[in-house]
Amino acid sequence: MHPLRPLSEDEFLKAKDILIKSYHVDSNLLFRSIYIEEPPKADLIKFLAAEHGEAGRNESVPSLPRLVKFVYDVIKGPGEHQLTEKIIDINSEEVVHHQSYPAWCQSSYTMPEFAAFQDACVSSDLFKEALKEFELSSNFAITIDPWPYGGLEAGEKMPRYMQGLVYARDASKDNLDSNHYSYPLPIIPVMDVVHKKLVRIDRLATGGRDDPLEPTPPSGTPKKLFTANKPAEYVPELLDRPLRTDFKPIDVTQPEGASFTVQDSSLVTWQNWRFRIGFTPREGAVLHDICYAGRPIIFRLSFSEMTVPYGDPRPPYHRKQAFDFGDGGCGRAANNLQLGCDCLGAVHYLDAWLTNTEGKPTLAKNVVCLHEQDNGIGWKHTNYRTERAVVTRLRELVVQFVVTLANYEYIFAYKLDTAGGITIETRATGIVSVVPIDEGKTSRYGNVVSPGVLAQNHQHIFAVRIDPAIDSYDAGSTHVVLEESHPVPMNPETNPYGNGYKIRRTPVTRPMFADAEPKLNRTVKLENANKKNETSGNNVGYKFIPNATQLMLADPESTMAKRAPFARHHLWVTGYRDGELWAAGDFTNQSQMEVGGVKAMVERGDWFGGAERTANDRKGADGEANGNGSGNGSGNSQGKLSIPVVWNVFGLTHNPRTEDWPVMPVEIHQLHIRPADFFTTNPALDVPGTKNDTSVLVSCCGKEKTTAENGGKASGEVQRDPVVHLQGTGSDIDPKNIGG
């Protein structure tokens, strides 16, 4: 059995049985996550090298254990939970790892914890008394969005908390999909999650741009709500406008089926690509062992983290910051995708087994979809002398999953194309998070998208983790280089006409951070240090250019910023350690600062490339910037010779528009990882330039196409060389006929 194969139901149950037996007395356990633990990388690359038949290896292939990780609470008494982690080898039926965590380590919320929030509010006298401060029409029903509690204040110690945003739904419409976000209430309840009991109700300021940050105290007379609020429906049957009738179908048809194959539920092959798909409760879909024509490119590719800090400084909004991977888990929130809606054409779906709180396997159906899509022209050239045009289409294989996190949806996709490229795409949609604002007022902290409804300014900052293996599984063969294009002053020796520029390459010899620099076209090159391209003589590699997106705007000394230092730079390069997968560290829920994230990985002072650290490497690890917009933390005794892991960070600063209401059109970001001297020619040369025979001509202005427009003969002058617009002159010339 392959060590990266997803966990089966039988393995799930067997592993749980081994765990239960490891306790010699009955214990009350609350399960948070159960999933495959990947083998140590050093062992796994030996396995992969043998699997692919990589030449030159004499090492014996290890018999890899089948490991399952459990994260759970041991409930020792009322309100006393001990967060625990165990790893079980289901082949040897042994516990190979056990760890108990201190109280400050708050794991991600479970779905039952989120679900308990509304029940806690309904049963609470605190909540009932808070509602008496408002006058609501009888047609409204209360609905509540649970939210992570956010970061604690400095020195603040609290049990496991959760907060919530409160809304009202117009029940008179007799439709549970009626949009409740257009009716926000000015309160935030706070729940002790362990005891499932409200501990307080925070009141919200509802004033405008020149009003105080603090909320207005209750007057004693119930405040009438929603006097000017309007419905904001999005489901078709409740819209205030008819659906378009001139929308003709576009059908994606693949009469011969899909070009990709899926084996053993995780191995995918398509157009020279070969990779495996994993799925974890925290990350969602993960790609392993990405190869092209048998040559490895990336060992592991994943979305690592996302933080969403809100820019409204009025308390308690300073706690409104979510880490959607660490606080809740994108895998847990993955949608059950539907054929013909989320993915089109010939589609293959992958399921995943997740746990409930009792440790029972539950099937997450259709959480990942695979399909092919056309992405326009791939390459084209027209020989203007012969009027021969050769054109191919850029086809992509898409691995996609979609998550719903309260009001927002995120669409995550890995796209592999016929030219050897990898695109990592993020789309944000759904409904903006809104709070109440007094009628007729505007705000510095967001935009009024509907009467009485303020959509707050916020950011979405993502981190993608790239563990490269460029053309080899050998540890240390992949190096990282920052490549920039710099102007050269005009000078008589090297640039007499001023048109020249130079390429500057800076090897990354130690962990560091850097930012995008469009003026220098700062490019991250992932190269094999030992293999040269036989044509160019350059190291074979792949590259990407970090996009110059805006990053964390919160003050560096704020709790928001201290919890997410990864969100302050576009690029991080760290030294590899098994199990280090999270840009913001293992525990983000209620954190006050990052522990174990990329900042800590940089600060421990690793080094790359070579058997020992040079004097310059030691100097750099002690805090010297390398002059390319990068920086390093303090070196310490934890540092060691390592191999690089690359993290790309990008942000979407969302200052809401009225066009984002009631459901926002997608905001799209793409990271393009492209071959750079990895091949000796365009790898898509052999893509057939087939003509799509189902394409048809469309008439204009209600008229039929003329004979000439349809390619036939007609009166009047027709352009002689329509393909090339009369470029060039004539055909080839025999040299003997020149000048004679």
Place of tokens 């990271």: 671
Task: Establish whether 170 is a catalytic residue.
Answer: no
- Cα separation, 376 vs 395, whole angstroms: 8
Measured in whole angstroms, how far is the alpha carbon of residue 432 from the centre of its chain?
A: 18
Which residues does 353 contact at the CB level (< 8 Å), separation at least 6?
A: 6, 7, 8, 9, 12, 361, 362, 363, 364
CA-closest candidate to residue 456, choices 339, 353, 586, 308 = 308
* Residues 522/570, Cβ–Cβ less than 8 Å: no
Q: Quote the tokens at residue 620.
A: 């750099």
- Cα separation, 267 vs 262, whole angstroms: 6
Residue 326 is given by DSSP the state: I
CA-closest candidate to residue 591, choices 213, 106, 23, 98 = 106
Catalytic residue among 289, 312, 324, 417: 324
On the 0-12 / 13-18 / 19+ scale of CB atoms within 10 A, 465 is: buried
Q: Quote the tokens at residue 550.
A: 């805006």
Phi, psi (5° rounding) for residue 18? Answer: -65, -40
- Cα separation, 106 vs 586, whole angstroms: 9
- Cα separation, 602 vs 646, whole angstroms: 12
- Cα separation, 465 vs 588, whole angstroms: 17
- Identify how many contiguous H helices and E strands the chain contains and give both numbers: 7, 35
Reduce the DSSP state of residue 438 to 3 states and report it: coil
- Cα separation, 647 vs 497, whole angstroms: 40
Instruction: Report CA dihedral (215, 217, 223, 226) to the nearest 10 degrees.
Output: 0
Q: Quote the tokens at residue 660.
A: 């984002």
Q: What DSSP letter does each residue of 58-91 carry, written as one string?
A: -SPPP----EEEEEEEEEEETTEEEEEEEEEETT
3-class secondary structure per residue, 184-212: ECCEEEEEECCCCEEEEEEECCCCCCCCC
- The radius of gyration of the chain's CA atoms, rounded to the nearest angstrom, is 29
- Which helix (H) or strand (E) is 448 found in, with range? strand 446-450
Catalytic residue among 167, 292, 408, 473: 408
* Sequence-ordered strand ranges (E) for 655-739: 664-676
Which residues does 256 contact at the CB level (< 8 Å), separation at least 6?
A: none
* Residues 512/647, Cβ–Cβ less than 8 Å: no
- Which helix (H) or strand (E) is 51 found in, with range? helix 41-51
Amino acid identity at 429: T
Phi, psi (5° rounding) for residue 295? Answer: -105, 120
With the C-alpha atoms ordered 261, 263, 266, 268, is the resulting torsion angle positive or negative?
negative
C-alpha pair distances (Å), 361 with each of 1, 14, 52, 142, 250: 20, 11, 33, 33, 39
* Residues 662/181, Cβ–Cβ less than 8 Å: yes
* Residues 52/290, Cβ–Cβ less than 8 Å: no
Task: Establish whether 734 is a catalytic residue.
Answer: no
Tell me the catalytic residues: 324, 408
